[in-house]
Amino acid sequence: MSEIGWSNIEENVAKEAFEKAYQREITTLIEEVRVKASAIAEIKDMWILHDFLSARRHDIDGKYEYRNSVLIFVFARLVKEGWLNINELEGLDRDKLAKITALARM
């Protein structure tokens, strides 16, 4: 895929939206871990939590990749999963917003 051009304004919008989504997901994850950790009664519960955290780390590390060439796909996924609202991407070029919206619907 060819490199997609981003203006300075778009870069700022993208960075802010990316960080908002990341913080939302991390905050939700931390709360979820607190609940799960408080319910640990046996060693198997601890291993279940460990497996959950490993899977979530893998998912989050792969999802939050800030490279201009993949941001359209990253934002589409974040919108689809509910971590980002399409309105938070206002300031991006219309074509980018249209692509993100279309991909988020798939």
CB 76 within 8 A of CB 103: yes
Q: For the chain, which residues score pLDDT lower than 50? A: 1-2
pLDDT score of 3: 58
pLDDT score of 83: 98
pLDDT score of 4: 73
Task: Give the span between the Cα atoms of 31 and 28, in whole angstroms.
Answer: 5
pLDDT score of 1: 42
Q: What is the pTM (predicted TM-score) of this model? A: 0.90
